Amino acid sequence: MLSSAGRLLAGIAQATSAGGLANGLAAAGCSRLAGLARAGLAGDGKPRSVAWFSSDKGPQPGPTPSAPNGAEQPPGAPNTESQPQSTVPPGPASRRDAGAAAETIYPSSHDDNMGVQKNWFNALLSQLNVVHRTGVIPHMKGRQKEIFVAVEREFEGLWERHVKGKGLTGTAHRGMLLCCLAIATHKVLRYESGDDELVKEVVNTNLGGLAVGIMKKLHSGRLWVLLRLLAEDPYTQAVRFLPSLQNDLSSLVQSDVDVGESEATWTTTKCCFYEVLSSEGVPELLPEFCCQYSMQWMEEFSKYGVRVGLEQSLGFGDEQCCVRISKRLPPGQPGPPGAQAQAQTGTGADPQSGAPPPPPPPQA
C-alpha cells in the first residue's frame, strides 16, 4: 500500500561532512535544516540542563574511564585532556547501529521491526548535528549527545507502556514503533528548542515525508491514467481504495467499511493511535497517523468529481471517526440518505451544488 510504503522508504540523512549533511537532509525533505547547514550560521549560547522525561528510570550510559581498572596511561599515550576539542564534537554511538559500539543496551534495542528504530535514530543524530553546526538553537549547541540520549530514554518508557507485551506484529508493530518514536522526539525537542515548526519538520521528515510526497505523485498519476485515459468510474475506484487504507492501520483500529451504490463510509470506533497520543499529551501528532493521515490519499479523488470528507473524528471530540465518499450527482437527482440528512440539518444550501438558496422575490 502506498501510504505504508512511503514510510518504509523514508529518505534518511546519514552524511557526516557539513556539505554532505546538508545535501542528505535536503534529500530527506528537511528543507529548513538543510538550508541552515549550507548557510553555516553561527550561534552562541549557554547550555542549560537537559530535561529527563517520563522514562527517567531507564538505564544511563556510565562514564568512560581514561584507562582500564583506573591504571595510568602508558608513556607516549596522547594526552586527551590537553588537546583542543573538535569544533564539531562527535555524536553518540547509536545503540541502533550495529556498526557502532553501543554505549547502552536497552530492552527495546532488540525489537526493531525492519530497522524502524535504527533509521529514525540515525536520522535524528544527523539533524542534531545540523542544529549544532548552524547554532539555530543556541542553547542546544554542543549538546547532541545528551539530547539524543534523552530521546532514547523517553522512547524506552513509551515502548514499555505501549509496545512491550502487546502482541503486535507486522504493520501494527511498525506503526506503533513509529508512533512512540514520534512522541519521544516531539517531547524532547519541543522542550529543548521551543521551536514548534522545527520539531514538526524533524518528525515529519523521519516519518518519511519525502517518500510520502513521491508516492502521492505516483498515486495521482495512477488515478489520471485510470480515470482520464481508461475512463474508469471515479467513485468505484475510490471505494476500492478504502479497504487498502483500512488494512494499512491493521489491528490498531476497529473500523468498518459500508459501501452503497452512490455513497460509502469508513467508520472507526476504536483507534490505538488516538488513545496513545492522547494519553501522552500530544494529540497534535494525530494528523501524522490514523484516518487523518489517510485523508491525503482520498482527497485525490475529489479532483475527479468524488466528494470526500472527514465528517467525524475522535480527535475532534466525536464518538467515532467517519470518512464519507459519494458521487457528485447531476442537478435535480436526489442524493444518498446521508447527504439528504446532512442537507436537512444545514443552512438550506443545495446539497448537490453547495449553492445558497435563491433570494426571496422583492416585496411589491
Q: What residue ranges in the chain does DSSP mark as E strands? A: 253-259, 263-271, 306-312, 321-327
pLDDT of residue 359: 55
Answer yes or no: is 182 within a domain. yes
Q: Are residues 16 and 136 in the same domain?
A: yes
Question: Among residues of the chain, what percentage have pLDDT more than 70?
Answer: 62
Give dist(CA 87, CA 152) in Å, integer: 25
Buried b (16+ CB within 10 A) or exposed e, 156-187: bbbbbebbeeeebeebbbbbbbbbbbbbbbbb
Parent domain of 43: 2-57+91-211
Q: Which residues of the chain have pLDDT under 50?
A: 1-29, 37-75, 77-78, 80-94, 96-102, 335-336, 338-357, 364
pLDDT of residue 57: 35
Answer yes or no: is 222 within a domain. no
Could you read off the pLDDT of 321-358 as tens digits, one per residue? 999 999 875 555 554 454 444 444 333 344 344 444 45
Q: Are residues 175 and 246 in the same domain?
A: no
Does pTM surpass 0.75?
A: no
Q: Are residues 30 and 178 in the same domain?
A: yes
pLDDT of residue 226: 87
Q: Which of 212, 207, 150 is nearest to 184 (CA)?
A: 150
Answer yes or no: is 358 within a domain. no
Q: Are residues 169 and 49 in the same domain?
A: yes
Q: Which of 142, 213, 209 is nearest to 182 (CA)?
A: 209
pLDDT of residue 106: 84
- Could you tell me if 186 and 203 are in contact, meaning their C-beta atoms sit under 8 angstroms apart? yes
Q: Are residues 197 and 284 in the same domain?
A: no
pLDDT of residue 318: 93
Q: Which of 118, 146, 119, 121 is nearest to 132 (CA)?
A: 146
Q: Which of 61, 166, 60, 183 is nearest to 113 (CA)?
A: 166
Answer yes or no: is 76 within a domain. no
Give the Å distances, CA to CA, from 97 to 25, 119, 174, 202.
19, 9, 18, 20
Q: Are residues 114 and 179 in the same domain?
A: yes
Q: Are residues 194 and 239 in the same domain?
A: no
pLDDT of residue 358: 52
Q: Are residues 26 and 134 in the same domain?
A: yes
Q: Are residues 292 and 145 in the same domain?
A: no
Answer yes or no: is 295 within a domain. yes
Q: How many domains does the chain have?
A: 2
Give the Å distances, CA to CA, from 17 to 38, 90, 115, 237.
11, 11, 24, 47
Q: Are residues 160 and 247 in the same domain?
A: no
Q: Are residues 170 and 297 in the same domain?
A: no
Last residue of a domain, one of 178, 211, 244: 211
Instruction: Tell me how far apart the terminal alpha carbons of the chain are, to the nearest angstrom.
Output: 63
Question: Phi and psi of 101, rounded to 5°?
Answer: -80, 105
Number of other residues whose CB lies within 10 A of the CB of residue 297: 24
Q: Are residues 254 and 202 in the same domain?
A: no
Answer yes or no: is 278 within a domain. yes
Answer yes or no: is 166 within a domain. yes
